[in-house]
Chain A
Amino acid sequence: MASKAQRMPLGLRILTYGFVLVWFILAAFPFFWTFWGSFKVELDFFSIADWTNALTGERTKAAYDSAFTGAAYKGAWVQEEFWRNVINTFIVCFFVVCTSLTIGTLGGYALSRSSFRYTFWLLITALIFRAMPPITLVAGYLLPFFEWNVWGILPTTIIVLVAINQPFTLWMLHSFFQNIPKELDESAKVDGCTQFQAFRHVIVPVMWPGVITTGLFSFLLAYNDFAVTAMLLSESNRTMVPAIAAFLGTTYTEGNVMFAVAAVVSATAPLFILVMVFQRQIVSGLTAGAVKG
């Protein structure tokens, strides 16, 4: 708001700053609180006596001589072997992102360069598939996967997540490729390239910003998925999110809720870093679909 006439009156400005502050607390405080609390014992984080114990760590001091303890992390990572789930998650995410970008880029490029009617219908079908809750498909996977004996292993889940990812990837890359001028690859074709050579040598070098943005969202989908991974992975192959859900079932009874808290903080940390590094790409990705309508 540059011009003097548009400057806000004092009252409104205070109101705005107040509102922003409230939203800031709403958005950020839960994460800081849980992070802080994950270094306490359960009786401090879930304090019956006095909520300020969670800040000062009375019981933690009594138990460990210090207001901070890594006991919850040790319990989750060593005792419950959460590191296995972390490795599984990163295997799944890596392969899902690579595969879905490879096949999605080819498909999205084709959709953006073909002017036939069926491209519209393919995009509409993708839109319908995008709207489908993934959990509704799971019932259809189980029977064949059991029959072929491929249930419970990581590759199956990776393929399923890639497929579920495709509609969104196609839409994003399609609109992204449409912004790359057609003249580029057409001039390459005039010079004697095949369509694939034109794609390989002319489009690939300039497509990375869009591909990275799309890749971020593929990563988030694979990382955040609960319904599919919980249903399709056996206990030993679980990724982080279903493992945390499984923690809850067992630890509420054993009094090890802090393990789950530590696991939750561990699983949030990579997302935190991701947003920090790729904030600009995430924002542009979220608005890409919207601005075009």
Chain B
Amino acid sequence: MKHRTFFWFFLPTGLAMLLFIALPIVSVVIQSVYAPHEAVLKTVENCTPLVGCTTETTIDQDATRDIREAKPLGRFVGLDIYLDRGHLAAAEVGEAWSSSASMGEFFDRLFNLPLYRALAFTLTFTFIVTPLLIGFGLMIALAVNSLHSRLKGLMIFFSLLPMIVTPLIGSLILFWMVDSRGVIGSALVALAGDPNFSMKASTGLTWVMLIVYGVWHSAPFAFVVFYAGLQTLPKDQIEAAQIDGASRWQRIKYVVVPHLMPLVTFVALIQLMDNFRVFEPVVGFNASAHATSLSWIIFNDLGGETRQLSAASATSVLTILGVAILLSPVLVRTWRDFKGK
């Protein structure tokens, strides 16, 4: 294909991505180094006879509006927003580091800072959910693959549901069930033997609840991919292993799993990226008191009456950096494939 023809074919999609993905990234980076204008203050001296003079400081509404309209971006503050308490909190971390007696105390204080708290949950979620869903997905795939073919179709249909359903809706459905008045919630209350038992009450249980949701939501993806992989399993290798006296478990370990290994890597890389953006369950489970994620912080900053664009932009840039780190193995792999061709 000629360069010219390629250009015209690619133009619409390229333009869409340039205008609504590439430029916004640039714009987010720029916004993250600008803070909103401070209100312009003016000092007025009021003199009344007999009482004397008082000076009064008020906000000069006109001047404030003028400067905000003239420069909607705000004032340049460099990396200040990144280093403030809501983000990397350089001063607070340094203070905590020098004054904490033990590592435990240091981490306690660190995880009271909003960004680190969110980072702790986001990373825990990502790195616990991903291996769990791969293991669980593999088990479902092996089990379903041994079923009668009619049942297989039915199982695939129902397995797809948790993944296809809107994340917010899926988490709400589960949330209503684990509510202390819901069906699972009542069962847990009965099990715990404590009428006030609630999954929402403690940080630990909230995290468990979110992680269970994460596995429930993403295991079907792993299942479908592994199930497809199992259909291409070479029969002769299995038979050869069997003739050599390999047990069922050994066949799975030495033949099936190595055959599926490229798929495991694929699922792991995709899911690491997707779980890192965990957001809807935090809203759906109403869990922000105990678990916040990076995406949730951005959403929270942007929503409401005061849209804190600068704060949200700084968190966005930090999140993008996190994604970039997680993405680098994928890029290296794609580059190697490309070189290999």
**Residues in chain A within 8 A of chain B (CB atoms):** 1, 3, 5-6, 8, 12-13, 16, 19-20, 23-24, 26-28, 30-31, 33-34, 37, 45-48, 51, 54, 102-104, 106-107, 109-111, 113-116, 120, 122, 124-129, 131-133, 135-144, 147, 159-160, 162-164, 166-167, 169-170, 195-196, 199, 220, 223-224, 226-227, 230-231, 241, 244-245, 248, 257, 260-261, 264, 267-268, 271-272, 274-276, 279, 282-283, 286-287, 289-291, 293
A109 to B10, alpha carbons, bound, how many Å? 9
Given contacts A48-B181, A107-B12, A282-B160, contact A260 B172 (CB under 8 A): yes
A-side contacts of B166, CB under 8 Å? 223-224, 226, 241, 267-268, 271
B306 within 8 Å of A by Cβ? no
A-side contacts of B253, CB under 8 Å? none
Contact partner of B176 among A114, A241, A261, CB < 8 A?
A261
Given contacts A20-B143, A163-B19, contact A5 B242 (CB under 8 A): yes
Given contacts A8-B146, A195-B5, contact A127 B161 (CB under 8 A): no
A-side contacts of B335, CB under 8 Å? 124
Task: Evaluate contact between A34 and B173: CB separation under 8 angstroms.
Answer: yes
Task: Evaluate contact between B330 and A286: CB separation under 8 angstroms.
Answer: no
A-side contacts of B316, CB under 8 Å? 135-137, 139-140
B299 within 8 Å of A by Cβ? yes
Of B161, B221, B232, B279, chain A has the most CB atoms within 10 Å of the CB of: B161
Task: Evaluate contact between A137 and B179: CB separation under 8 angstroms.
Answer: no
Given contacts A46-B181, A113-B1, contact A293 B169 (CB under 8 A): no
Docked complex: B325-341 residues within 8 A CB-CB of A: 326-327, 330-331, 334-335, 337-338
Task: Evaluate contact between B331 and A31: CB separation under 8 angstroms.
Answer: no
10 additional A-B pairs beyond A47-B181, A140-B23, beta carbons within 8 Å, are A1-B146, A114-B1, A122-B10, A135-B295, A139-B309, A170-B13, A220-B164, A267-B166, A268-B165, A286-B224
Residue contacts A-B, CB under 8 angstroms, 13 given: A20-B147, A26-B216, A122-B10, A122-B14, A126-B17, A139-B28, A163-B21, A167-B17, A274-B164, A276-B157, A283-B228, A291-B232, A293-B266
What is the predominant secondary structure among interface residues of chain B facing chain A? helix
B16 within 8 Å of A by Cβ? yes
B263 within 8 Å of A by Cβ? yes
A116 to B338, alpha carbons, bound, how many Å? 12
| Shortest beta-carbon contacts, A-B, top 9 | A140-B24, A163-B20, A110-B9, A107-B13, A133-B277, A103-B12, A136-B316, A140-B27, A287-B228
B286-301 CB mask vs A (1 if < 8 Å, else 0) is 1000000001001100
Contact partner of B298 among A138, A143, A261, A268, CB < 8 A?
A138
A180 to B220, alpha carbons, bound, how many Å? 29
B150 within 8 Å of A by Cβ? no
Task: Evaluate contact between B17 and A136: CB separation under 8 angstroms.
Answer: no
Closest residue of A by beta carbon distance from B262: A293
Task: Evaluate contact between A275 and B13: CB separation under 8 angstroms.
Answer: no
Closest residue of B by beta carbon distance from A107: B13
B183 within 8 Å of A by Cβ? yes
B-side contacts of A138, CB under 8 Å? 298, 302, 312
A-side contacts of B139, CB under 8 Å? 19
A261 to B173, alpha carbons, bound, how many Å? 8
A-side contacts of B317, CB under 8 Å? 136
Of B20, B25, B220, chain A has the most CB atoms within 10 Å of the CB of: B20
Task: Evaluate contact between B160 and A110: CB separation under 8 angstroms.
Answer: no
Given contacts A16-B146, A133-B277, A264-B173, contact A27 B302 (CB under 8 A): no
Task: Evaluate contact between A46 and B228: CB separation under 8 angstroms.
Answer: no
B-side contacts of A16, CB under 8 Å? 143, 146-147
Closest residue of A by beta carbon distance from B272: A131
B-side contacts of A279, CB under 8 Å? 153, 156-157, 160
A276 to B312, alpha carbons, bound, how many Å? 40
A20 to B151, alpha carbons, bound, how many Å? 10
A138 to B216, alpha carbons, bound, how many Å? 28
Task: Evaluate contact between B6 and A245: CB separation under 8 angstroms.
Answer: no
Task: Evaluate contact between A107 and B14: CB separation under 8 angstroms.
Answer: yes
B-side contacts of A137, CB under 8 Å? 20-21, 24-25, 28, 316
